[in-house]
C-alpha cells in the first residue's frame, strides 16, 4: 500500500544517489597545489563551462575548445574526460537501499539529474542500480538544468509525474524550491535517515 497522497519519489543523482567529487582528482592533478586547483575552476573549467556539458554539449568538444584558449591547462582538461570515473567516489548505499524499499512498497521511483548523457552512460555499468528506477531524465537530454523551469516541465511530461503526488529529493535547496514551484513536495537531502523521517511525515512508512 502507498500513502494516499504520494505515489512517486523523484531523486537527484549526484549528492543523493552517487557521490561526485572533483576535488580529490584535481588535488592529484595539481600535486596538492590548492591555488592551482582554485585557478583551474575559477578561470578555465568554470561552473558556466561545466553547465554547458550538463546541458548537452559534447564533453570532448568543450574541452578541446578550452585547451586552445588555455593551452597551459591541457593536462588538467584532459583529466576531466580520461579520469572522470575517479570523481564518482561511490554510491550512497543507504539511499539506494531506501529506493528499493520504496519500490517494494509499491512506489514509483525516478531520477532527475544535472548530468550530461555521456556521463550517465559512463556511470551506468558501474552503478547498475540506476537501471532499477522507473525513469531517468538528465539535463543533457533536455538542454536545461535544475533549477530552471524547462527541466522540471520535461520531467513531468517524460516521466508522467503528478507533482502533487510526487516527492522531489535534492541536496540543493534552490533546486527543491524550484520543484515546489512546480507543485512537487520537496525535501533537501542530507542523509538517508533524515529522508526516511521526512517520508514518515508524508505517511510513507517502510
Task: Quote the mean pLDDT of the chain.
Answer: 96
Write the CB contacts of 61 (distance below 8 Å, at least 6 apart in sequence).
none
Q: Which distant-in-sequence residues (6+ apart) come within 8 Å of 160 by Cβ?
A: none
Taking the whole predicted model, whether its pTM rises above 0.85 is answered as: yes
Is residue 2's pLDDT more than 60? no
First-residue to last-residue Cα distance in the chain = 10
- Which region, left, alpha or beta, applies to residue 4 given φ > 0 means left and ψ of -120 to 50 means alpha? alpha
Is a pLDDT exceeding 50 seen at residue 11? yes
CA–CA gap between residue 183 and residue 176 (Å, rounded): 11
Side-by-side strand order, sheet with 8-11: 135-138, 108-113, 8-11, 166-170, 185-188
If one counts every other C-beta atom within 10 angstroms of the C-beta of residue 197, the result is 11
Q: How far is CA 167 from CA 4, 6, 49, 203, in A?
A: 13, 7, 30, 12
- Each residue's pLDDT tens digit, 134-190: 999 999 999 999 999 999 999 999 999 999 999 999 999 999 999 999 999 999 999
pLDDT band at 10 (very low <50, low <70, confident <90, very high): very high
Residues with Cβ within 8 Å of residue 161, at least 6 apart in sequence: 8, 10, 110, 155
Amino acid at each position: 500500500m502507498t500513502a494516499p497522497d504520494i505515489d512517486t519519489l523523484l531523486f537527484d543523482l549526484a549528492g543523493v544517489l552517487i557521490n561526485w567529487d572533483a576535488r580529490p582528482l584535481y588535488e592529484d592533478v595539481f600535486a596538492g597545489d590548492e591555488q592551482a586547483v582554485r585557478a583551474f575552476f575559477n578561470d578555465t573549467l568554470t561552473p558556466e563551462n561545466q553547465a554547458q556539458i550538463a546541458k548537452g554539449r559534447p564533453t570532448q568538444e568543450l574541452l578541446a575548445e578550452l585547451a586552445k584558449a588555455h593551452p597551459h591547462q591541457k593536462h588538467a582538461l584532459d583529466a576531466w574526460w580520461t579520469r572522470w570515473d575517479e570523481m564518482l567516489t561511490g554510491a550512497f548505499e543507504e539511499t539506494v537501499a531506501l529506493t528499493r524499499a520504496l519500490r517494494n512498497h509499491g512506489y514509483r521511483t525516478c531520477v532527475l539529474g544535472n548530468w550530461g548523457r555521456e556521463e550517465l552512460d559512463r556511470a551506468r555499468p558501474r552503478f547498475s542500480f540506476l537501471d532499477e528506477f522507473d525513469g531517468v531524465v538528465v539535463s543533457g537530454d533536455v538542454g536545461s538544468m535544475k533549477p530552471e523551469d524547462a527541466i522540471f516541465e520535461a520531467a513531468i511530461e517524460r516521466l508522467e509525474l503528478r507533482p502533487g503526488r510526487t516527492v522531489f529529493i535534492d541536496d540543493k535547496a534552490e533546486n527543491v524550491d524550484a520543484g515546489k514551484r512546480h507543485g512537487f513536495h520537496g525535501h533537501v537531502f542530507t542523509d538517508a535517515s533524515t529522508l526516511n523521517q521526512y517520508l514518515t511525515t508524508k505517511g510513507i512508512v517502510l
